Structures are given as C-alpha cells and as structure tokens.
Amino acid sequence: MTFRPILAACALSMGLALPATADEDPAIAARQGQFKLYSHNFAVLGGMAQGRMDYDAGAAQVAADNLYHLTRLDQGRLWPEGTDSDAVDGTRANISIWEDLDDFVEKFGALQMAAESLQDVAGDGLDEMRAGVGAMGQTCQACHEAHRDEAS
C-alpha cells in the first residue's frame, strides 16, 4: 500500500521531467503547417527574384494571393501558452513570444502588410515583384531574429 504514493510520485515526476513533444500538440502542428505553406508559396516568388526560375506574372500573382490569404488566418488558437521551446521539444517558438506578445503581434502585423503590398505588385513585372519579396523577407527575418530558436 505504501508503495502506491511513491510510485505515483515517481510517475508524476517522470512526466514532469520529460518535456512534451511538438507532434502531440495540435496547435504546434497546425502553426508549423502554416509556416510550411508560407515558404511553399514564398519559394515561387523568391525563386523568380533570385533567378532560379523565369518570371511568370500569373504564377507570381497566384503565390502572392495565397500569401495574402495565408497571412489573414486568425492566429487565436495557434499559440496557446505553454507551447514554447522551453516547455515542448520540437518547436522553435521562443518564450519571448509570450513574454513580449505586443512585439510578436506587431511583427505579425508587419508581415500582413508586406504580404498585401506584395500582392499588389507581384504581377507587375520582375523588378516590382523583387522589391516586394525583399520587403516581405525583412518582416520574416525580423520575427525570426527576435523570437525563433535555432533548430535542434
């Protein structure tokens, strides 16, 4: 009988010692999927900007339209407390997102605006699109610099 509380305590402490993993958390999986969709579409525009592929106004516009809509998705359920990299293995979301939420929200707002500007110019020619791609990349970088960990 006296073993049961001890075993329970051991089990509990093991549970506490082992961080949860990202694939157990639907919110983390969903937001990582969201970022995959960002880069999947950004690759079309960035690829043209870097000369990896020829500029195609139609394809550029489709990708920029997608990015516009993807960055409008409501983020409300994607960032629950306790899904930072200190608490969960397999996410690169730094605790600073929650500690300085205003900054994170502001940087996300900058991304939304850059996506809108890119949508406006993506079909207008290579140089116009390239400027929009660079500006949007800057908003990605600003947030990654402040709030994303190195991959493990």
Partner 1 sequence: MWRRLAISLGIVLLVMGAGLWWLSAPDPLEADSLAGIEGDSDAGRDIFLAAGCGSCHMAPDSDVDPLLLTGGREFPSDFGTFVAPNISTDPDHGIGDWSQAEFINATMRGISPDGRHYYPAFPYTSYVRAELQDMADLYAYMMTLPADATPSRAHDLGFPFNIRRGVGLWKALFLRDEWVITGDLSEEEERGRYLAEALSHCAECHTPRNALGALDHDQWLRGAPNPSGRGRIPAIAGEGFDWTAFDISAYLDTGFTPDFDVVGGTMAAVVNNLHQLPTSERDAIAAYILRAR
Distance of closest approach, residue 100 Cβ to partner 1, in angstroms = 10
Distance of closest approach, residue 118 Cβ to partner 1, in angstroms = 13
Which of 2/152 has CB closer to partner 1?
A: 152
Distance of closest approach, residue 50 Cβ to partner 1, in angstroms = 5
Bridge partners, 20 (sequence order): 88
Which of 113/146 has CB closer to partner 1?
A: 146
Q: What span, in angstroms and rounded, lies between the C-alpha atoms of 32 and 38? A: 10
Distance of closest approach, residue 9 Cβ to partner 1, in angstroms = 28
Which of 60/140 has CB closer to partner 1?
A: 140
List, as one string, the DSSP characters of the chain: -THHHHHHHHHHHHHHHSPEEGGG-HHHHHHHHHHHHHHHHHHHHHHHHTTSS---HHHHHHHHHHHHHHTTS--TTT--TT-STTTEET--B-THHHHTHHHHHHHHHHHHHHHHHHHHHTTS-HHHHHHHHHHHHHHHHHHHHHHBPPP-
Sites of contact with partner 1 (CB under 8 A): 39, 42-43, 46-47, 49-50, 52, 85, 92, 94, 134, 137, 140-146, 148-152
Which of 57/95 has CB closer to partner 1?
A: 95
Which of 51/82 has CB closer to partner 1?
A: 51
Distance of closest approach, residue 124 Cβ to partner 1, in angstroms = 20
